[in-house]
Amino acid sequence: MERFWLVLAIVAFFLLCLWGMYVGWRRKSRSQSAQVPPFPAIPPEPGDVLLESTGVYLSTTIAGEWQNRIVTRGAGLRTGAVWRLHDGGIAVERGGAPDFWIPRGAVTGIRRDTKIAGKVMGTEALLVVTWRLGETELDTGFRGDDLDDYPQWIEQLKIKGGAQ
């Protein structure tokens, strides 16, 4: 009988931890929904695809705060993704989560990095785009299937977007 109560206490503790994480995620989402405007939708006619990469959308964070993940409006969900560069911006198409658009004029930087919320790598295997959404500057991280695409992304966005 002692074992039953011990197992029950462990299960109750585990469920309490899960509930606490859920409540914290919801609270963070509500507070960020006032701070971060909705992400732009992909335009119906974005134009020709200049560059395309498949991989994993990792997260979007407040720029310079690599652990401060944006969780509001589905932005915190790590998913398989396709990034398509068009003349007007980047279409971020995510499986199972809302797609969004990063306007080219909003891009303020692009770089290879080793970390963003939800992923830390030993090498610079992440592509991070820094962009403005309203008054907030964000970093959006992507882990591409083919790392050889990264120099093309960096060159394309530096030339036409004024990114550094």
What mean pLDDT do residues 118-126 have?
87
Strand order from edge to edge, sheet including 107-113: 100-103, 89-94, 79-86, 51-62, 136-144, 126-133, 107-113
Digit-coded pLDDT (tens) for 32-45? 776 788 899 999 99
For residue range 51-106, what is the model confidence (pLDDT) as tens digits?
Answer: 999 999 999 999 989 988 888 888 888 999 999 999 999 999 998 889 999 999 99
Considering only CA atoms, which of 89, 55, 59 is closest in space to residue 74? 59
